[in-house]
Amino acid sequence: MSLFSLLTETQKIKAHVDDYTAKTKLEARLSDLFVSTQKRPALILCIGTDRSTGDALGPLIGTHLSRLKLPQLHVYGTLDDPVHATNLTQTIHTIQQTYPNPFIIAVDACLGRLDSIGCITLADGPLKPGSGVNKKLPEVGEVHMTGIVNVGGFMEYMVLQNTRLNLVWRMSENISSLITRSYLRVRVSKD
């Protein structure tokens, strides 16, 4: 493997919601990302809807983060003002018009394998929202986080509707805390 491929290799980290050690790695990677993009506006784009239990992960995270009023961290997608399939394109346009060269972390729920339910992923590259339910939506973000809320592969809309709120709530608290701690670690060391 060449040095160039090491420097450009994308990273993906996965941690179960109950695995403290793995979540520490997620938090460290998030901190590194916030450090490397300090001169740019930081934005968390939480995608989903409160009309489906499984798809409410994004708006729950956005609500948690927006209530904290973290300095210079912009949050889109809350329970009061969700970002979903019908307004995603317009929201991306608004963000591009409002912030010069923003660093966007896109966050969404997703479906996965049975043994991955309850896992949080952090990966380089844009999020492809709606791909689990065969929707063609614009990709967004330089980095994305997902919470695997249920099993995919069959009747995805029904699966999202019947996802346990307890898991979605726990994941939203965990992801919000990971983002908050990593962001504040960088902000405190900068100030």
The predicted structure's pLDDT at residue 47: 97
| pLDDT > 90 fraction of the chain, expressed in percent and rounded | 77
Encoded amino acid at 101, one letter: N
Give the CA-trace dihedral at 173, 62, 132, 110, to 10 degrees. Answer: -10
Phi, psi of 116 (to 5 degrees): -105, -5
Q: Which of the two residues, 32 and 162, has the higher pLDDT score?
A: 32
Place of tokens 């963000």: 95
Domains and CATH numbers, the chain: 28-186 (3.40.50.1450)
Give 9's pLDDT tier (boundaries 50, 70, 90): low
Indicate if the pLDDT at residue 8 is higher than 70. no
**Number of other residues whose CB lies within 10 A of the CB of residue 55:** 27
pTM above 0.85, yes or no: yes
Q: Which residues contact 30 (CB under 8 A, 6 or more apart)?
A: 105, 122, 178, 179, 182, 183
Q: pLDDT for 86-96, tens place per residue?
A: 999 999 999 99
The predicted structure's pLDDT at residue 4: 40
Indicate if the pLDDT at residue 171 is higher than 80. yes
Separation of alpha carbons 8 and 3, rounded Å: 9
- The tokens for 125 are 């590259």
The predicted structure's pLDDT at residue 191: 53
Q: pLDDT for 17-52, tens place per residue?
A: 999 999 999 999 999 999 988 889 999 999 999 999
Q: pLDDT for 118-131, tens place per residue?
A: 999 999 999 998 77
What is the pLDDT of the chain when averaged over all its residues?
90
| pLDDT > 70 fraction of the chain, expressed in percent and rounded | 91
The predicted structure's pLDDT at residue 157: 79
